[in-house]
A and B are shown apart, each in its own frame.
Chain A
Amino acid sequence: MLRARIVLGLYIVFLLLPIYWLVNMSLKTNTEIVSSLTLWPHNLTFRNYATIFTDPSWYSGYLNSLKYVALNTVLSIALALPAAYAFSRFRFVGDKHLFFWLLSNRMAPPAVFALPFFNLYSAIGLFDTPLAVALAHCLFNVPLAVWILEGFMSGVPREIDETAYLDGYSFPRFFVKIFTPLVASGIGVTAFFCFMFSWVELLLARTLTSVDAKPIAATMTRTVSAAGMDWGLLAAAGVLTILPGALVIWFVRNYIAKGFALGRV
C-alpha cells in the first residue's frame, strides 16, 4: 500500500515537473533564469504576466486564438449534430463507409492540407482571418464531433424519438426540446475535444494567418529578438496557454473517459 503510494507520488511528480518548471520560470527574471539554477523564484516578479496583458502584440494573440477556437467549436457542433443524428438513426446506402471515411480524415497529417488551404483562402480573401483557421480546423474536428456525438446519440433509445412524434412533436421541436438535453453531456465532451484540438493545432493556424489573426502559438515561436530569448515572457505565455484547457477539462471531467472512447462506453 505504502509502496504503491510512493510509486504513484513519484509518477505524479514526474508528470508535473515540467509544468512546475514553466510556472517557476514565468515568475523569475531573465537574469535569474540564465545565471543560476533555482528551485523557486528568488526574485519573485509578475512583470512577465504584466507584459502579456498590456502589450497588444501579445494579448491579441490570445484573442485571435480564442476567436477561431470558439468559432470552430460552434461550427463543428452545429454541423455534427444533424450529421450524427442521421448516422445514429437512419440506414442508408453506404452509411458505414461514409462514417469510416469521416474518421479517416483525422488520420491525414494537417501539413498535407496546409498548401491547398493557403492557396484557396488567399484566392478568396479569407487569408489571415479567424474564419480561415476555424474552417480549416473543421476538417478534422467535424469528423471527430460526428463520431463522438453519434456514440452518445445511439445511447438514446429510438423509441424516445417515436414517442415524441406520437405525442405530436415536429422534428425541430423534438430535436431541440427533447433530444438535445439527452445528449447534453455528449455535446459538452465534443465541445471540449474540438476546443482542445483547435487550441493546440499550430501548423494550419500559423500558415493561414500573418498579422491580423496571428494565434498565440505563432506569437510564441517568434520571440527571438536582437536582445536574445525572453525566457520569462515565453514561460508566462506558456502558462496562460495551458490555463484555458485546464479550465474546460474541469467542466467535462466526469464525461471525458466516455469522450475518449468516442461515446461508446
Chain B
Amino acid sequence: MSLVLDNVSKHAGGHVHIENVSLTLERGSLNVLLGPTLSGKTSLMRLMAGLDAPSAGRVLVDGKDVTGVHVRNRSVAMVYQQFINYPSLSVYENIASPMRVAGRPKAEIDRRVREAARLLKLDKYLDRNPAQLSGGQQQRTAIARALVKDAQLVLLDEPLANLDYKLREELREELPKIFAESGAVLVYATTEPTEALLLRGNTATLWEGRLAQFGRTPDVYRRPANLTSARVFSDPPLNSMRVHKRGLQLVLATGEHGLARGVLAELPDDDYTIGFRADHLYLTRPDAEAIALTGTVAVSEITGSESFVHIDLPHSNELSGGGSDRWVAVTRGVLEVEPGERIECFIDPRRLFVFGHDGRLAAAPPLVLAA
C-alpha cells in the first residue's frame, strides 16, 4: 500500500500541531520522521493512523480517501515510546490480542504468537504479565503485537527512546528487518539524527509542525534543502553564521575576513547564512584556504575518544545586529581546554552549506566533502 498525506494540517486549542504537510510513503519503505521534541512527529503519526482527524487536508491509502475512517477499520499498528501493553493480560494474550479480535482460528493464533515471540526473544516469558518484564521486553511485546497484526502501516513512535544503550543498538538493527517481509509502510519517529542515519531509508525532517524536507536519508543529510532541515539533522547542533559576500571577499558576522573560495565562489554578491556540522570546524589549520576565527571556550566536554569544544563567537558588525554565535567543534582524542580560554578555530570554505535569505540552500559542497 502507499500512504499519501495531502496538505494535512492539525490545529487544536489555538495551537498549530501540523501545518500543511504533504508526504508520499511507498509500500515496503522505511521512513524516518526526524525532529526535536514538539516538532510534530507524534501528531503526524496520529494523523497517519487515524487516531486524530486532520483539521484540513486528506489522507489517502492506495489512492482512497480514508480521512474520516475510524482507526479500527484501518490496517495500522503502532508502538509507543512508553511501553504500552495490556497490564491485565499475559504476554501471550497481549501478542495474540489483535488476532483474537479479528477472530482468527486458534491454531493460527498460536503459531504466529510463538513465531513472533521467538523472533523477539520473548518465548520464555509468554506466561508472565507485562509488569514482570524488563523495559526492553515490554517494548518487544508491544512490537510483537504490532508484528502479528500484519498491518499495512506500522508506526513506531520513538520505540527505543526509553531503552538502555545496548538494547537500542540491537533492536534498531533488527526492527527494519522484522517488518521488511510484511511489505508494510514503516514509519519511525526519532529525535536523533544518528538513528536516522543508521536506519537509512527515507527521512522527513520536521520543525514546529512543518515538513522541512523529505528524501532518501543520506541525501537529506548531505543536501539539506534548507537551513531548518540542516539544523534538525545535526547533532551536535549545526554551526551557522551570517556572512556577506562581495566579489572574492567574504565578511563574517564576527568581523573576520576571508576569501570567498570553494562553494561560495560561484554565488552572486549578497548576504548569506553559512552552515556546517561540528566535524567541519577545525581547531588546527587544515590547509591554507581555511578561514581562521578567534572565539572563547564556553564548554568543553570529553566523551573518552572525542572532545566537544563549544566556542562563543561574538559578532562585531551589522550583519546580525550584535549577539553571538555558539559553535561546536568535535576533535578526536582528549583536548583539555578551560572555559574562558581564547581559542582559534578554522572553517573550510569548500565544506560549507550556504543558505539564502529565505533559508533555502544556495550552494553545497560536492557530496564527497559533505558527509
Contacts and interface: CB of A to CB of B under 8 A. Distances in A.
Main SS class of interface, A: helix
Given A159-B82, A162-B78, A163-B78, A168 B98 contact: yes
Interface stretch (B84-92, B309-317, B356-364): B84-92
Contacts of A178: 86, 88-89
B82 A167 contact: no
Given A157-B82, A159-B80, A159-B82, A165 B88 contact: no
19 contacts: A159-B80, A159-B82, A159-B84, A160-B84, A160-B86, A162-B51, A163-B80, A163-B84, A164-B86, A166-B49, A166-B77, A166-B78, A166-B98, A167-B97, A167-B98, A167-B145, A168-B101, A168-B102, A178-B89
Nearest to A168: B101
Tell me which of A162, A170, A173, A181 has the highest count of chain B C-beta atoms within 10 A of its own C-beta.
A162
A188 B142 CA distance: 29
A169 interface: yes
B76 interface: yes
Interface in B63-113: 70-72, 76-78, 80, 82, 84-89, 97-98, 101-102
A181 B72 contact: no
Interface residues of A, number: 16
Contacts of B80: 159, 163
A162 B98 CA distance: 13
Interface in A171-188: 173, 178, 181-182
Interface string B25-54: 000000000000000000000000101000
Given A181-B88, A182-B87, A182-B88, A166 B82 contact: no
A166 B76 contact: yes
A5 B199 CA distance: 64
Contacts of A181: 88
A170 B72 contact: yes
B261 interface: no
Interface of B: 49, 51, 70-72, 76-78, 80, 82, 84-89, 97-98, 101-102, 142, 145, 149
A157 B130 CA distance: 15
Contacts of A168: 72, 98, 101-102
Contacts of B84: 157, 159-160, 163
B72 A169 contact: yes
B71 A166 contact: yes
B291 to A, nearest CB: 50
B76, B77, B78, B85 — most chain A CB neighbours (10 Å) = B78
A131 B102 CA distance: 42
Contacts of B101: 167-169, 173
Q: Please indicate which of the listed interface residues A164, A168, A182 has the most CB atoms of chain B within 10 Å of its own CB.
A: A168
Nearest to B78: A166
Nearest to A178: B86
Given A166-B78, A169-B101, 8 more contacts: A159-B82, A162-B71, A162-B78, A163-B85, A166-B49, A168-B101, A178-B89, A182-B88
Contact of B72 (A157, A165, A182): A165
A106 to B, nearest CB: 31
A167 B149 CA distance: 8
Contacts of B49: 166
A162 B42 CA distance: 13
Nearest to B89: A178
Contacts of A165: 51, 70-72
Pick the 3 closest A-B CB pairs, nearest first.
A181-B88, A168-B101, A167-B98
